[in-house]
C-alpha cells in the first residue's frame, strides 16, 4: 500500500489541521475506509472558554466521511473528564453518549464518535481507526486469533469482537496497559487501530501494516486460485456488454418493483470484470451469504446480498422471469424476517426486509438505495466486500460474526442514529422522471423543478445542440448521476424504446413520464399543406402514443403504479382560427390520455393533462414563424403577441414555464393521489376553455 503523505504539505499545518489532513489521506484510499467508515483523533493542549489550560481530545464527529472531513466535523472534548471512565466497570451506550456530550467544549460541535473512549484510552496523541480491506481479510477468517500473530508477530495484538462502546474501549485500554510494547491493535471482525506521537507516524503505521497483510495475502493467492473468482475469460467485449444490457432491460423493472414494497428504490447496475468474475464463480452463491466484512457496512448492504439463480435462459419469457424473480425475493424476505424474529432485541421494529445488493450470474450486481447516492454507497461497499471475501477465502474460510451479533449491530440504535444525521429526504428523491421535449421552455423548467425536489431526471429531446447546452448547464447533476441527458425522437418507435432502455439501465425504472414534446403550425385549413397536417399528427398524436405506450408497458412491469402527465393545450377546449392542425392533433392527444386513464387505473397508473396557454419564454413551439402567423390570425402586430395572450385571460397574467412545471409536480406527487383523467388549466383563466 502506498503512502500519500507529503511532508511539504503537512509542515504547514497545526493542531487539528494535521488530523484533518491525515484523515483525508486515509479517506482517499478506499482500501482503508469507505463512506463514513473509520475515525481519527488528536490529543492536544488548549484552553476552555474561561481561559483555563486543559487537555483536549479532538475526535471525528459521528457519521462524517474521512475523505471530505473538515475541522468543524471534529468534536473537542475535555480529555481529563473522559479518562476517569476507564475505572468504571460498565456503562450503557446511552450513559456513555450522554457523558461524552457533557465533556464537549463546543455546544455546536457534532456528536462525538461512538468510538470516542477507545481513542481516549490510548495514551498516544494521534490515533487512527480504519476498516482496511487486507486487515479485515485476516480478521474475517475462521482462525483469525491465531492467524494474525503469525502474520505480524508480537507487534500487534488482536482484541476479540465486541460491539463498539464502553466495553470495547475498555478492552482496548486494557490491552495496551498489559502490553505496552505493541504497535497496533486489530479488532477482530472489524478493523485496525494505529497510533503515534506524530500524525505521520500513526498514518505510516497504518500503511505499513496493510502492506504486510497485502503481501501475505498475495502469497496465499498465488498458491491456490482464489475461490470466489471465476477463471473464465472475463466477458469484456462490446457484444458481451450489449447482451447483458438486453437481458437487464426486462429484468431491472421487475427487481425495482420487488424492492420498492415499502418505499421506492433507485437501482444501480455494475458489471465490471471483477464483479462478473465473482458472480460467475462456483463458490459465490455460498461465499456471498456470510456477511459484509465489517459491521459498519450493515446499514448500507444488510446482512447478506440476494444471490439470484441464473436468469439468462428466462429472458425471452417475461412472465416466467417475473415469477421466478418474485419467488427469489419472497424467499429472501422470509429468511430476513425469520432472522429478525429469532435474534431481535425487545421493542425493535423490523427494517425493510429487501436486499440492498443483488448478485446475478452472468449479468453482474444491482445495488439499491433511497437515491442514487445511497445506491452507489452500497455498490462501493460491496465492491470492497467482494475483494475481502476472495482474500479471506484464499487464506482460509471467510467467516464473519454470528447471526445474533449481526442482528445486534444492525438494530443498534447508536448505529441507526447516523441515519438521522442525513438531510431529510426530498419529495421526489426516490423517483425517476422522464421529460420529453425537455431541453427548452416548459420541458426544461420541469426538469429544473423536479431536480430541485430531489428527483432523478431524464431530459429527453430531439434537439442535439440544446441537449449539449443542458449537459453543460447541469454538469453537476449529470456527473452525480442524478440527471441523464439523451436524444429521443418521439416520432420514432425505436428511438423511444432506446430512451426507455437507457433510463432502465441507469435507474432501474421510471415513475413519472411527462409527455411534453410538441409541434405547432398556424395556417388556415384551406391553405394547409398535407405535410404540415401530417407532421402535427406525427408529433402531437403519434409521439404521445409512442411515449405513453412504452411508459405503460414499463409501469406494468414494475408493478408500483406510475404517473403519466400530458402537456396538452387550452386550444383543445377552445380552438382558435388558423390552428386546425395543431388543435386537431392535440385533441387526439387529450383523448388518448383519457383512454389511458380509464385503461390503467387498476394498475395504480394515473394519467392527467395540463392545458397551458401561450407560454412564450424559451419556447420551441412558439417559433418566430408561429408567432407571426398567430399575430396575423388575431390581427395584431408581431410585437404584441405576448401581451395579447396575457390580456385575454381572466387574471391578466403572462404564463411562465415554471407555472406549468409546478402543476406537473403537483400531478406527479401524492398530493394528487386521487386524481386521474383530469385537466388542469394553466392559462390565467380563459372562460371558453374551462374544462367541462
**Active-site residue list:** 582
Q: Is the dihedral of CA 23, 27, 33, 37 positive or negative?
A: positive
C-alpha cell at 222: 498465488
Q: How far is the CB of 496 from Zn ion (least distance, A)?
A: 49
CB atoms within 10 A of CB 219: 11
* Cell 441515519, located at residue: 419
Using CB atoms within 10 A of its CB, is residue 295 exposed (0-12), middle (13-18) or buried (19+)? Answer: buried
Chain centroid offset of residue 295 CA? 20
- Residue whose CB is less far from Zn ion, 191 or 303: 191
Binders of Zn ion among residues 318 to 347 (CB under 5 A) are none
Q: How far is the CB of 235 from Zn ion (least distance, A)?
A: 36
Task: Kindly report the backbone phi and psi dihedral angles of residue 159, in degrees, each rounded to the nearest multiple of 5, phi listed first.
Answer: -105, 125
- Residue whose CB is less far from Zn ion, 191 or 612: 191
- Residue whose CB is less far from Zn ion, 294 or 456: 294
Distance CA 89, CA 87 (A): 6
Q: How far is the CB of 213 from Zn ion (least distance, A)?
A: 17
Q: How far is the CB of 95 from Zn ion (least distance, A)?
A: 21
Using CB atoms within 10 A of its CB, is residue 351 exposed (0-12), middle (13-18) or buried (19+)? Answer: middle
Task: Please report, for residues 291, 339, 585, the alpha-carbon distance to residue 342 in angstroms, rounded to integers and kept in the order given.
Answer: 17, 5, 62
Task: Kindly report the backbone phi and psi dihedral angles of residue 666, in degrees, each rounded to the nearest multiple of 5, phi listed first.
Answer: -65, -45
Q: How far is the CB of 129 from Zn ion (least distance, A)?
A: 6
- Residue whose CB is less far from Zn ion, 23 or 590: 23
User: Residue 523's beta-bridge partner residues?
Assistant: 579
Distance CA 435, CA 484 (A): 11
Q: Assess contact for 204 and 5: CB atoms under 8 A.
A: yes
Distance CA 199, CA 26 (A): 12
Question: Measured at the alpha carbon of residue 25, what is the angle toward residues 22 and 26, in degrees to the nearest 5?
Answer: 90
Q: Assess contact for 109 and 74: CB atoms under 8 A.
A: yes
Distance CA 251, CA 524 (A): 49
Residue nearest to Zn ion (CB): 191
- Residue whose CB is less far from Zn ion, 36 or 191: 191
Binders of Zn ion among residues 173 to 192 (CB under 5 A) are 191
Residues that contact Zn ion, how many (by CB under 5 A): 1
User: Residue 192's beta-bridge partner residues?
Assistant: 130, 186
Q: How far is the CB of 450 from Zn ion (least distance, A)?
A: 38
- Residue whose CB is less far from Zn ion, 191 or 443: 191
Binders of Zn ion among residues 94 to 113 (CB under 5 A) are none
Q: How far is the CB of 135 from Zn ion (least distance, A)?
A: 11
Q: How far is the CB of 79 from Zn ion (least distance, A)?
A: 21
- Residue whose CB is less far from Zn ion, 121 or 336: 121
Q: Which residue blocks in 538-623 are alpha helix, DSSP H? A: 544-558, 570-573, 580-600
**What SS3 class is residue 225?**
coil
**What SS3 class is residue 648?**
coil
- Residue whose CB is less far from Zn ion, 191 or 437: 191
Distance CA 344, CA 409 (A): 10
Return residues touching Zn ion (CB under 5 A).
191
Amino acid at each position: 500500500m502506498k503512502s500519500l503523505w507529503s511532508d511539504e504539505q503537512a509542515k504547514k499545518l497545526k493542531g487539528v489541521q494535521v488530523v484533518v489532513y491525515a484523515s483525508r489521506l486515509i479517506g482517499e484510499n478506499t482500501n482503508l475506509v469507505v463512506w463514513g467508515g473509520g475515525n481519527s483523533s488528536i490529543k492536544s493542549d488548549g484552553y476552555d472558554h474561561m481561559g483555563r489550560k486543559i487537555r483536549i481530545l479532538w475526535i471525528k464527529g459521528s457519521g462524517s466521511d474521512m475523505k471530505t472531513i473538515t475541522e468543524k466535523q471534529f468534536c473537542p472534548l475535555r480529555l481529563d473528564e473522559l479518562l476517569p471512565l476507564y475505572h468504571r466497570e460498565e456503562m450503557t451506550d446511552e450513559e456513555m453518549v450522554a457523558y461524552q456530550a457533557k465533556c464537549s467544549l463546543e455546544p455546536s460541535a457534532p456528536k462525538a464518535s461512538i468510538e470516542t473512549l477507545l481513542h481516549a484510552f490510548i495514551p498516544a496523541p494521534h490515533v487512527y481507526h480504519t476498516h482496511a480491506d487486507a486487515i479485515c481479510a485476516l480478521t474475517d477468517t475462521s482462525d483469525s486469533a491465531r492467524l494474525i500473530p503469525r502474520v505480524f508477530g508480537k507487534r500487534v495484538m488482536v482484541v476479540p469482537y465486541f460491539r463498539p462502546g464502553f466495553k470495547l474501549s475498555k478492552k482496548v485500554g486494557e490491552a495496551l496497559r498489559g502490553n505496552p510494547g505493541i504497535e497496533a491493535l486489530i479488532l477482530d471482525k472489524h478493523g485496525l487501530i494505529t497510533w503515534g506521537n506524530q500524525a505521520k507516524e500513526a498514518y505510516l503505521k497504518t500503511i505499513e501494516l496493510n502492506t504486510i497483510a497485502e503481501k501475505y495475502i498475495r502469497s496465499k493467492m498465488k498458491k491456490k486460485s482464489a475461490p470466489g473468482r471465476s477463471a473464465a475469460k472475463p466477458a469484456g467485449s462490446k457484444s458481451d456488454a450489449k447482451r447483458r444490457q438486453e437481458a437487464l432491460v426486462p429484468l431491472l423493472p421487475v427487481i425495482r418493483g420487488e424492492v420498492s414494497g415499502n418505499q421506492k428504490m433507485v437501482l444501480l447496475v455494475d458489471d465490471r470484470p471483477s464483479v462478473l468474475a465473482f458472480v460467475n464463480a462456483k463458490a459465490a452463491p455460498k461465499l456471498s451469504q456470510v456477511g459484509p466484512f465489517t459491521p459498519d457496512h450493515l446499514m448500507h448492504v444488510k446482512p447478506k446480498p440476494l444471490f439470484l439463480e441464473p436468469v439468462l435462459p428466462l429472458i425471452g419469457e417475461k412472465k416466467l422471469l417475473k415469477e421466478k424473480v418474485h419467488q427469489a425475493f419472497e424467499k429472501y424476505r422470509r429468511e430476513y424476517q425469520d432472522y429478525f424474529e429469532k435474534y431481535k432485541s425487545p421493542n425493535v421494529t423490523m427494517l425493510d426486509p429487501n436486499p440492498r445488493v443483488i448478485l446475478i450470474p452472468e449479468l453482474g450486481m444491482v445495488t439499491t438505495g433511497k437515491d442514487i447516492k445511497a445506491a452507489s454507497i452500497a455498490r462501493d461497499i460491496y465492491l470492497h466486500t467482494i475483494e475481502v471475501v476472495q482474500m479471506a477465502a484464499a487464506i482460509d474460510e471467510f467467516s464473519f460474526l454470528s447471526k445474533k451479533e449481526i442482528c445486534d449491530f444492525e438494530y443498534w440504535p447508536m448505529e441507526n442514529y447516523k441515519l438521522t444525521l442525513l438531510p431529510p429526504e426530498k419529495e421526489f428523491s426516490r423517483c425517476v422522471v422522464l421529460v420529453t421535449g425537455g431541453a427548452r421552455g416548459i420541458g426544461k423548467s420541469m426538469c429544473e423543478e423536479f431536480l430541485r425536489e430531489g428527483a432523478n431526471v431524464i431530459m429527453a429531446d430531439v434537439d442535439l445542440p440544446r441537449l449539449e447546452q443542458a449537459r453543460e448547464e447541469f454538469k453537476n447533476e449529470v456527473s452525480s448521476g442524478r440527471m441523464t441527458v439523451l436524444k429521443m425522437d418521439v416520432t420514432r418507435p425505436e428511438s423511444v424504446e432506446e430512451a426507455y432502455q437507457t433510463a432502465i439501465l441507469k435507474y432501474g425504472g421510471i415513475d413519472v413520464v411527462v409527455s411534453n414534446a410538441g409541434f405547432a403550425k398556424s395556417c388556415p385549413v384551406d391553405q394547409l399543406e398535407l405535410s404540415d397536417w401530417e407532421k402535427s399528427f406525427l408529433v402531437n398524436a403519434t409521439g404521445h402514443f409512442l411515449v405513453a405506450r412504452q411508459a405503460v408497458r414499463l409501469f406494468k412491469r414494475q408493478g408500483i403504479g406510475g404517473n403519466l402527465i400530458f402537456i396538452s393545450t387550452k386550444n383543445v377546449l377552445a380552438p382558435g382560427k388558423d390552428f386546425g392542425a395543431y388543435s386537431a392533433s392535440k385533441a387526439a392527444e387529450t383523448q388518448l390520455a383519457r383512454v389511458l386513464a380509464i385503461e390503467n387505473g387498476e394498475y395504480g397508473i394515473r394519467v392527467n393533462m395540463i392545458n397551458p396557454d401561450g407560454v412564450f419564454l424559451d419556447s420551441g413551439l412558439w417559433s418566430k414563424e408561429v408567432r407571426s402567423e398567430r399575430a396575423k390570425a388575431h390581427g395584431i402586430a408581431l410585437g404584441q403577441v405576448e401581451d395579447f395572450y396575457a390580456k385575454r385571460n381572466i387574471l391578466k397574467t403572462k404564463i411562465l414555464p415554471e407555472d406549468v412545471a409546478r402543476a406537473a409536480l403537483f400531478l406527479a406527487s401524492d398530493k394528487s393521489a386521487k386524481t386521474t383523467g383530469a385537466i388542469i388549466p394553466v392559462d390565467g383563466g380563459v372562460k371558453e376553455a374551462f374544462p367541462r
